[in-house]
Chain A
């Protein structure tokens, strides 16, 4: 009995501790990030120089910003290992640099803290379903490296409301996560269609979804892929449906700090390598086989001819390292969010350009 109580007590202490840390992580995280940024900007002799690759190598770890838990994109699995589409991008970069996809430190970030974390140098790359927009590209001191996932914003509603179109949402209450493009798009959409609405913006995805589930909102809005991901967290996913309208373009992709072209190239070409591998039919399984090929194109890709990898600052076998670690773009998509996953999202726009989609990578040559 005493033993039981002791365990109960320690479980409760653990729970309280957890709240404590989440409390701290709440305002403190943001304050620390901004403070680091201010210090770095105010006191450093010159702006962060083009040293990311060296920093990463010296540290022996890639520091990768991800979401705080979005199934299919970036979430810890039952064993506590991070997994998902965005996580595989981090793993691919680590594989290219270290030949070891596990050398990644994951930094979970809310929508509103993610850019500050990148600016302040806490992370080397942000791979967190982030939409590429002009203002982000030009005023946040970041550079987008490419489009890993073509997405758009949609609405999730209770099927019991019998709503069939977003245009029937006049006067609805909308739950959204703060600091996202979604928060702005929803304002544009309702205003543009002369509809009234009430928007309630929450700090994290979990809070947003909870409020929606409790009935505070009629609608939960986000990028469509994330609607499918968050729907899995609801008690009865089948009671909720995604409306047909897609109200915005949400090209999602990894981004890096401005001013380090070499690092920008590495992240950009890691992504391109995955897409090119799918196009060339290179898979996680057959990569060793393919590497022996003497087709000129494959020889360039695998570095058995020329030194393209080295010009990037990597090794000759960089593509093989990446594909061994994560598989090609199509495999990554299927495993995490596509047919082979719980989300079951169709390839759609993310199909390769020669198969009816718009996913396209410049050639490796």
Chain B
């Protein structure tokens, strides 16, 4: 009777056991389940208890209020909104406003931050001092103070709508904001949009082709004349055949205010200005630290290759510095987003102001609304971090690190 070899214990089960139970094995796993169950039970008890207590105190609870009519106006909304819409819509109006101010703020903060950070390292004495002064001044004043300062400064500098500053008779600057012509799509709009899309796709294909040629056979193809031709020519052709894609609706002074056109409100300008200049001061320091962390020899190597200082920075130093810069830079982006909740001080209708502010005081449902708001800021933060991690990962990969 041949002895059959005993089947080896299943690798899979062993692995699972290790993953789930750690060193304690299955017993540890059971313990963890118990622990989670206990946590869930406590959580449930707290929520149930809170509901019962709120009901006993006659404080409304639950999420039913989200479908009630808001009944108040909002000064800036990028999605259609009127007083007769629901609190849910108010939530989205506020969310979009928060996102807009954050994204634009992050863009400018990064731009200014990099310029100032690099400026501080410049061999030019004056430039370095100015950049240094900027950082010290801006990061040491409280942000709320700066927001109020910009707001009142912007308002003080601008005339009332009747005396607004007009540019070409179609742009109007006053203390009601910046009135600009609003594009309104016409019949020619769709063909125009399609033409633009086709041109962009064509340009990208061409670029891919040119790169392949460069890497495979070392041939340098000049593509920009074709790209430019496509990007301008195709939409132009569409316009000639189908007519103008858009007409413009111009702002016009009617009564107290401009009607028609679009308007960038002063609250938005002041908040973006304050958030981006403030955060830029911190980013500048991060950039400086990052660049200084790159070995000096890299700069010298670039110089010995005959690259200019600017090109050495751009092509050699900054990409290496980015690995050091990215994690703290992400922090600054998150800070900027969270700091945008100071908007209520100057009446900018962000999420915190219209939802955790007005909606909360109208409905009184503090716990629910603060929970939702916290959740949203958490999600925005996590998404920002994820994007930045992905970017960091790509940089790391491209540098072979």
* Residue ranges of A at the interface with B (Cβ–Cβ < 8 Å): 16, 19-20, 22-23, 26-27, 30-31, 33-34, 37-38, 40-44, 46-48, 111-116, 119, 135-136, 138-141, 169-173, 175, 178-179, 183-184, 186-188, 190-191, 196-204, 207-208, 210-211, 214-216, 218, 257-259
Q: Contacts A141-B364, A202-B344, A210-B152 hold; do A259 and B56 have CB atoms under 8 A apart?
A: yes
Q: Which residues of B contact A22 (CB under 8 A)?
A: 144
Q: Which residues of B contact A19 (CB under 8 A)?
A: 142, 144-145
Contact of A140 among B59, B73, B152 (CB under 8 A): B59
B366 engages A116 (CB within 8 Å): yes
| Chain B residues within 8 Å of chain A by Cβ, number | 58
Bound-complex Cα distance A141 to B363 (A): 11
A27 engages B155 (CB within 8 Å): no
B175 within 8 A of A: yes
Bound-complex Cα distance A214 to B151 (A): 10
Contact of B53 among A31, A47, A172 (CB under 8 A): A47
B206 within 8 A of A: no
In the complex, what's the smallest C-beta–C-beta distance from B143 to chain A, in angstroms? Answer: 7
- Given A48-B57, A188-B71, 18 more A-B residue pairs with CB atoms under 8 Å apart are A26-B345, A38-B50, A41-B50, A41-B53, A41-B54, A42-B46, A43-B49, A47-B53, A116-B364, A141-B59, A178-B357, A183-B72, A190-B73, A199-B74, A207-B148, A214-B155, A214-B175, A215-B175
Bound-complex Cα distance A186 to B75 (A): 13
Contact of A171 among B255, B344, B356 (CB under 8 A): B255
Chain A minimum-CB-distance residue to B47: A42
Q: Which residues of B contact A258 (CB under 8 A)?
A: 57-59
Q: Contacts A42-B49, A200-B347 hold; do A170 and B255 have CB atoms under 8 A apart?
A: yes
A183 engages B358 (CB within 8 Å): yes
B361 engages A179 (CB within 8 Å): yes
A259 engages B57 (CB within 8 Å): yes
Contact of B46 among A37, A43, A202 (CB under 8 A): A43
Contact of B347 among A16, A115, A190, A201 (CB under 8 A): A201
A173 engages B345 (CB within 8 Å): no
Contact of B346 among A136, A171, A172, A202 (CB under 8 A): A202
B320 within 8 A of A: no
Q: Which residues of A contact B67 (CB under 8 A)?
A: none
B308 within 8 A of A: no
A27 engages B357 (CB within 8 Å): no
Most buried by A among B156, B175, B256: B256
Q: Which residues of B contact A173 (CB under 8 A)?
A: 176, 256-257
A119 engages B57 (CB within 8 Å): yes
In the complex, what's the smallest C-beta–C-beta distance from B50 to chain A, in angstroms? Answer: 4
B349 within 8 A of A: yes
Q: Which residues of B contact A44 (CB under 8 A)?
A: 49, 53
Bound-complex Cα distance A116 to B365 (A): 9
B255 engages A27 (CB within 8 Å): no
A216 engages B367 (CB within 8 Å): no
Most buried by A among B267, B366, B367: B366
Bound-complex Cα distance A283 to B345 (A): 43
Contact of A41 among B49, B361, B370 (CB under 8 A): B49
Q: Which residues of B contact A198 (CB under 8 A)?
A: 73, 75, 176, 257
A187 engages B73 (CB within 8 Å): yes
In the complex, what's the smallest C-beta–C-beta distance from A179 to chain B, in angstroms? Answer: 3
Contact string against A for B residues 279-308, beta-carbon threshold 8 Å, 1 for contact and 0 otherwise: 000000000000000000000000000000
- 18 sample A-B contacts, Cβ–Cβ < 8 Å, listed by A number: A19-B144, A38-B366, A41-B367, A42-B53, A47-B53, A112-B357, A135-B362, A138-B58, A139-B364, A141-B59, A169-B256, A171-B257, A173-B176, A173-B256, A196-B257, A201-B357, A207-B346, A258-B58
